[in-house]
Structures are given as C-alpha cells and as structure tokens.
Amino acid sequence: MNTFYPSYIEELDEAQKEAVLYDGGPALVIAGAGSGKTRVLVAKVLHLIDLGYAPSQIMALTFTNKAAREMRARIYTHAGAAARQVMMGTFHSVFSRILRTYADRLGYQASFSIYDTTDSKNLVKAIIKRLELDDKTYKPNVVANRISNAKNRLLSPQAYLSNKEISIYNTQSHVPRIGEIYVIYQEELKKNNAMDFDDLLFQTNILLRDHPDVSQEVKRHTGYLLIDEYQDTNFAQYMIARQIMGETGNIFVVGDDAQSIYSFRGANISNILTFQQTFKGTKLFKLEQNYRSTQTIVQVANSLISHNEAQIPKEIYSENETGELIQIHEALTADAEAEWAADCIKREAGKGLPFSECTVLYRTNAQSRIIEQEFRRMRIPFRIYGGHAFFDYKEIKDVIAYLKLAVNPSDNEAYSRVINYPRRGIGDVTINRLKETATNQNRSLYEQTSSENISQVPVNAATAKKLTAFHELIKNFVDKASEEISFSEIARNIISESGVAADILGDNTPEGLKRQENFKELLNSIDEYQVKVTENEQVPSLQNYLSEVALMTDQDTQQADQKDVVTLMTIHSAKGLEFDHVYILGLEEQLFPSALCTTASELEEERRLFYVAITRARKKCRICYARQRYRNGSLEIMRPSRFLGELSPTLIERTRDSMIDPYGTMRGSPHSRKHGDFLPTDFPQAASDKYLQNFDKKSPSKSPGRSGQKIHVGTRSEHDTLRSYDSIGSLNVGDTVMHNKFGIGTINALEGEGDNARATVNFNEYGIKKMMLKFAKLSKL
C-alpha cells in the first residue's frame, strides 16, 4: 500500500479512521457539530487514491465553492497534482460540466448560457407582459419561485400543468396561468440555448433517466461518489445520487440531521433519515466527539435537540474544558436586549478578547436594526455577514427614497430610483430621455415632469401622462410633509399611497417574507423615532429622521475596512462558522420559533436552528429574550421561547435587567441567579423554572405527528398586548405605568387635553420625565 499520507491518517480519531478506511459499499457518516467532517472527507479522498482509484473517478460534491476549494487545497497538500483531477465542486458546477458534454442529447449546444436569478426573473416578466397578465397579480418573484420549486421537485411543465392539486392551489391563489407561463418559459430557454440555475439539476436528471447509454457512461467514470452536508440535499439532488450509484454503489455521504435547517430552499431531511433504507447494505458511522466547544455548551445543545423525534440517535460529547454555564438573560425590551449584548462584548474586549471572536446571532434580518443602532452608539465595530446593514436593503432604500422626495423633491437620485417602483410602465429609455432633457433645461427631474414642462420631453402622450402622474404623486407627498399631523402618520401615509406597502406585503415567497420583516421593522423605527424625539420635548420631522439614517449609513462606510469587528448575522448564515463568544438574541415565541411555524416538522426545524446557533460557540454562549417588543405599532408582551425550557437547568445561569419588576419595585443592579426563576411573575404560571421546563407541553412540540400536523406557536390572548394609553381619561395621578425605554414609574401629574395631553412620570431608574401621551405609549400596570 502506498503511504504518502500516513500522518493524516494518524491525526484521525478512531471513529473518523473507521469511516475513512471502510470500503464495503454505501456509507453514512453522521458528523456532529465540531466533529471534523471536512478532515474525514479529505482523508477519504486520499485513501481512495491510495486504494488505486483514479482521481478522475472520484466525484466529490459540496454545497459551496468555498468548501470545495478548502477540500481541494488540503488534498493537494498530501497528494499534489492528483488533487486537480478529482471531480470536485458544487452540485451545480459538476453537473454543468456533464451537461455540456452531452448537451446535444437534450437539444442544446455545448455553449449553452446559464441564467442567473436576475436573468430568469426578467424572462418571467417578459412572458407575463406578452400574455397581457397583471404583474401585480402574477408577481414575477412569485411566478419564478413556483417554477423553481417545480424543477426542484422534478416536475416538467407538462407534469405541472396536469397536476390537479397544483392547479387547484394556483386557482385559489388567483394565478391559474402559472403552468402556461412555465411552459413558455422553458420553451424560451431552449430557444435561447440557455438553462437556468435549477435546470442544472433538473436537466441532469432528465439526461440520466432518458438516456441509458449516458447514464452508464457517467456511472463508469464515477468509481466513488462523496457528498458533503447530505442533510441539505433536495429531491433533485437525491435522485441524481441514486441514478449515478444505484442502490448498492460506492457512495459515501457526510452530514448531520441535527443541522438540517434549509427546508425553505427545498432541502429534505428525509434524505438523510432514510438513507439506510434507500441504499442497501449501508454502514452507519457516528462522529460524536465535538472538538470545538466546551463540555457545558455541548451538553446544553444535546438537551435541546433531544426533544426532536425525527432524528438519528447520537450522543455528542466533548473532552475540552467544562467551561462556564450558559447565560440566559431577560431584558425589558428589544433595545435593552441590544444594550446588554453590547455591554457584554465591550467588557470582554476590555479584557483583551478581539471583537472578531464575538458574534451576535438572530432569527430574522429585521432584528439587526436595533442591534446595529446600539453598536453604533457604543462605538463597537461590526459587520453584517451574508447580508446587508439594515438600511442598505433594497426595500428599505426604496421607502427612504420616497420619504426623501417628500422633503426634497429635487433629489434626482431618489426620483430616478422610484419613478418606476412600484412599476408604472416607465422604462429605462423614457428615464434616460427625461434625464437628458432635465439636464439641458437645467431643471430637476421633478420640475421637468410638471404639466408645464413635460412637453419638452420627447415621449408619446401616454408616457407623458405617466410622468406627470408621478410628479403629482410626489407633489402630494410634499404637501403632506407640511401638514400638522404626527411625523409617523405622514411617513405611513406616504408609504401607503406610493404603493410600496401593497407591493411588499403582496409577495409571500420566502424572499418576499424577509422583505416584509424588514419593511415592518422600518415602520417600527419610524414609530420609535417619533416617541424618542417627543419624549425629549422636540418636534419630530421627516428631515431629522432622514438625517439620522444618513449618519448611520455613513458610520458603516467608515468602518467597512476594519478587520477586528463583531459579526452580526442570521443563524442560517452562521452555519459552518465558529466563534469564541456567541450571543443569541430574540428567544421569544412567535419570533423563535417563528410565527410562520405551523406544523410539527417545522417546529423541529426551528429547534435544529437553535441547536446550530448554540454549537457555533467555542467558549461562551449567552442567550437573551425581551419581555416586551415593539411590533406593529404597539408594545407587546413577549412569551419566552419554549426552547429555553428544554435546556438542561443545571447548566444555565439566569440574569435579568434591573428594572424588571411588574410591581414597580427596584431590584438594584442586574443580578445573577443560578438555577433560580427568571421569568416575569405577571406571566400566567411563570413564577418558576417549571414554566419553561413544561412550556413545550402546552404545544405538542414533542409529538412526532405527521409533517403536516398543525401546532400552536405561542398564539396570543387579548391580555398579551399591553394596553397603551393616549389620553388622560384612563390615567390618574399615582398610577404605576410601564414605558418601552424608561421602564416602570409613577405618574406625578397630568395636564392638557387631546393631542396635547401630557404626563409627568417619575421613573424608578431614569427620574422625572414629562411626556406627551399621544406618543409615549404608557402602559398601566
């Protein structure tokens, strides 16, 4: 036997070595978090080469180019030039190469183009226009998403059209002609000698299914198939693996069912759960030693994931140091939650911990706004990983552009950004002609589109009418901005009348739902600004709000080149990463688990997502939830996530904000209690740990059920929303009240009427504040 890599084999632990050296058919390697799966995959490739497999006969599939590059680099270190011959890459890159080789069998030329998401959406838009369909009903994003889902389920246009369930669903969704669009879409791709991203898997399946000689050729050239992150495979990828290797071939897959978190992208956890039934004679290996985290972190993660029914049994362990208890902190509000995380990180940095060894994780992109705001205030450098800073998202920039125009209609950048959003039938050619005319006439775009000046723009009458209509819309917003109503009302009216709200809220694709979360969070920021400025006895205005936004984005630009920064990201983006210190925020019902979670299988995926978050930590894991969160224009009581009650109580330390007391009593500085109660006593049955430990019993989270079984996820009673008072009639001197920022206080005086009603409140921690009741949103306790 050739032994050019014995050192690499010797570095493996016994479980890893057993998996690598096995060569008896299908193998499933369950690799727990931090168990060294990449090392195993690399060693497996080296071992296969040593056994005599030609490198070109080894196909290794990954989900990211980064993973493929890392594996190839490690293989090269030990095997040299042989690493370049291994057929390694993402599913899409490897199969695009195979498709080019046999393109003619599918009626394509080998030089076919690959359409990205933008190309695909543009083609869908063109088809919708050709069929004279309303693009507000047949939203291009929605249509493209359904076509993508169909391809990932291996449904051809004809199969899609003939599927009765799909037909009924589309009819009920008021889009009965999606099937027709799909047919034309696929015809246009073929005519353009193009495939979209999903076709790279869809067409590969057709190629292997309908052309036995090609299938045999691919099998002959694939002596061994390795697949990384197998828990993330979808139906199309699963079928390709089956067609290439059959039921007993040399297939070696590595994955962790406990980290299957991408069902919204089509990933199917059953692929890994049923692998042993699908591939006959499978040998199961378990990598259960976690080399990343402390023993405490691993044990807490185990206690959480043990509540899932759909999983392959395993007991992850660590031989690292015991480590600190997991801290669970109860914050008064979302602002206080962000402040707590910032304070903790600032203290750790003061002890010498690099900012780059800290990460803040959250369930949704929209949560980042408050965190970003607090980090800027505390001068903590940060970056957004796998996304944008909150005010850099397209949907946010679009709304801000409309608000800018209400203050300054001569802002040409803002004007051109939204003149055709939402779509008004004003194309790029028209906009370019408008810009050229305005420049020649030394006018702003706003001035040039007025009824007095529009005739100078070289467009037809119908287009001129659209341009002047937009001008009148902006003029209306300018007038609104000067009305004597609250800033937040002005902003909400502009957002509504512009059509942006309807456009965003009408898109229920996975990406659309993210845009909705961001949009709602922007509305929260507007309402919070209104309250903050009013409390300081200043007059809130659009102009000042926009100035604050501009200053925040400018700070982000200034710190963009820094390397020692805290990483902020969603948990989905954190998969595969690790940090010394991890902060997980927003552990509340309807947020985590998500309010969109309605079935037992969806709840189990939410639990796996929390498991992924905890296991990103090497040394410290801190978790936080807010008692109250500002949502949909009101301050709501939030219920702690049921998942907190599933963590081993002997391994957690609980703390709370000093102001938290439903009866107005001060508790002094934030204090810590091991194993004691930390829940607000005004929650039903929430006086002790028993509430959290038994929370899952209130909803059948532990029930195996069917994947479609309905569950309840923290649904609210009418008492879960604090009643906000905006007039004196419901309040009296001496009442104890709660405020979003200042906490608990006592009313000392009341004066004024209607919109001018004011209260003087003595807050336990912040002293005396005079507040306008219309904006203060005081809640009587």
Q: State the catalytic residues.
A: 37-38, 228-229, 259, 616
Residue 65, CA atoms < 13 Å, CB-side half-sphere: 2
Ligand-binding annotation for 34, yes or no, is: yes
- Phi first, then psi, for residue 557 (nearest 5°) are -65, -40
Separation CA 568–CA 361 (nearest Å)? 6
Separation CA 539–CA 617 (nearest Å)? 45
How long is the chain?
781
Separation CA 11–CA 17 (nearest Å)? 9
Structure tokens at 682: 């005004």
Ligand-binding annotation for 37, yes or no, is: yes
Ligand-binding annotation for 499, yes or no, is: no
Ligand-binding annotation for 708, yes or no, is: no
Separation CA 501–CA 495 (nearest Å)? 6
Ligand-binding annotation for 27, yes or no, is: no
SS (H, E, C) 412-458: HHHHHHHCCCCCCCCCHHHHHHHHHHHHHCCCCHHHHCCCCCHHHCC
- Phi first, then psi, for residue 599 (nearest 5°) are -125, 165
DSSP of 525-590: HHHHHHHHHHHTT----HHHHHHHHHHHHHHHHHTTT-SS-EEEEEHHHHTT--EEEEEEE--BTB
With CA atoms as reference, report the closest residue to 31 among 248, 298, 314.
314
Are 289 and 319 contacting, i.e. CB atoms less than 8 angstroms apart? yes
Separation CA 730–CA 751 (nearest Å)? 13
Separation CA 91–CA 77 (nearest Å)? 24
Structure tokens at 8: 């690499």
Helix (H) or strand (E) holding 153: none
Structure tokens at 373: 């705001």
Secondary structure (3-state) at 170: helix
Tokens 């820094």 identify what position?
562
Ligand-binding annotation for 600, yes or no, is: no
Chain CA centroid to CA 780, Å: 35
**Which ranges of 82-139 would DSSP assign to H, the alpha helix?**
82-85, 91-101, 117-130
**CA distances, 200 to each of 91, 98, 148, 243, 266 (Å):** 8, 9, 12, 15, 15
Ligand-binding annotation for 752, yes or no, is: no
Separation CA 678–CA 327 (nearest Å)? 11
Ligand-binding annotation for 38, yes or no, is: yes
Are 720 and 636 contacting, i.e. CB atoms less than 8 angstroms apart? yes
Are 713 and 589 contacting, i.e. CB atoms less than 8 angstroms apart? yes
Q: 450: exposed, middle or buried (C-beta count within 10 Å: 0-12, 13-18, 19+)?
A: middle
Are 85 and 54 contacting, i.e. CB atoms less than 8 angstroms apart? yes
Give the neighbor-by-neighbor strand order of the sheet with 671-674. 382-384, 566-570, 358-362, 579-585, 617-626, 326-331, 652-656, 671-674
First to last CA, the chain: 78
Q: Binding site residues for ATP, as ranges? A: 31-38
Q: Binding site residues, as ranges? A: 31-38
